[in-house]
Amino acid sequence: MKRIVLLLKGMAMGGADVIPGVSGGTIALITGIYEELIHSIKSVDAVALKLLLKLDIKGLWQRINGAFLVNVFAGVLISIFSLAKLITYLLEVHPIPVWSFFFGLILISAYFVMPRTRGWTDYLSLFVGAVLAYLITSLTPGDTPEELWFVFISGAIAICAMILPGISGSFILLLLGKYEFVLGAVKTLDLSIIAAFAAGCAVGIISFSKVIHWLLLHYKGVTLSLLAGFMLGSLNKIWPWKDESGDVFVNLSPNDFTAVTDQPNQLYLAIIFFSLGIIIVGGLEWLGKKLA
């Protein structure tokens, strides 16, 4: 049963990572596996390599928390390969309900991520994280090379964002001009591009997880506040009503959205899905306390 739950959490992470503006790290925090995920990834180190070279598979498996990682990342991969078309379809056909759902989900999640006891350093960290995420999500995508070396670099950078709540790896790929390129490779099973991207992801996530683990170990309150700030700042990208006719998206009020785009603002439907996101996270938090 535990393996199935981990697989489902991994699938939720993978589904979130496909959406530009939503982070798999956010889902990991919401579902209560973030710290174990960071610790497990960090354990893929020189010691683990020595165990592998000695063919001590049992010791290696225990060292890297293998059962946990396999189930989570299997869920991530299943979701990415199976849900890529569905999620892109939903974003194209029903963007306002989808963005509203994630807006509510991330907004309430930021509250639960914040440490219960807060000092001025926590609030400062929250502010810094929010400003950084806002600035990043306001950048304009650019044109970049399509060679495999740049695909590798893009994977290394994007995966760091993917394990940071609030900073979307998919959006970083958009900024690097590689979101549709990589998603297209996944859909067509272009193995050379997928391999280069996966290798970059492996290098990036192993390196960056050590930094996050150290911060959580020594400055947990400040780090959690920073992560909550990232989540709040990313709401700039997730706002449901946008004018995307120009080079840079512009957030609009629901009424202005109708006036500018001549499309219905679906306000009542947006409120329903916004509330659903809040209810789901609140329910998970309540269930987690009950089972603790």
Predicted pLDDT of residue 289: 63
CA-to-CA dists, residue 262 to 26, 130, 245, 259, angstroms: 33, 32, 13, 6
What pLDDT was estimated at residue 270? 93
Q: Give the per-residue pLDDT at 141.
A: 67
Please give the Cα distance from 151 to 201 (Å, whole number).
10
Q: What pLDDT, on the 0 to 100 scale, is given for residue 271?
A: 94
Please check whether residue 19 is in contact with residue 26, taking contact to mean a CB–CB distance below 8 angstroms: no
- Residue 171 has which token pair? 């959006």
Contact 274, 258 (CB under 8 A): no
Distance between CA atoms of residues 49 and 291, nearest Å: 36
Residue identified by tokens 């089972």 is 291
Phi-psi region of 248 (alpha: psi -120 to 50; beta: other; left: phi over 0): beta
Low-confidence ranges of the chain (pLDDT < 50): 292
Rounded CA Rg of the chain: 19
Task: Give me the residue label for tokens 């992470």.
Answer: 13
Q: Write down the pTM of the prediction.
A: 0.71
Tokens of 109: 């999640």
Task: Check residue 272 and give its pLDDT.
Answer: 94
Query: Which residues, in sequence order, are CB contacts of 192 under 8 Å at separation 6+?
Result: 148
String of DSSP letters for 172-226:
HHHHTT-HHHHHHHHHHT-HHHHHHHHHHHHHHHHHHHHHHHHHHHH-HHHHHHH
Give the dihedral of Cα atoms 25, 30, 36, 39; nearest 10 deg: 30
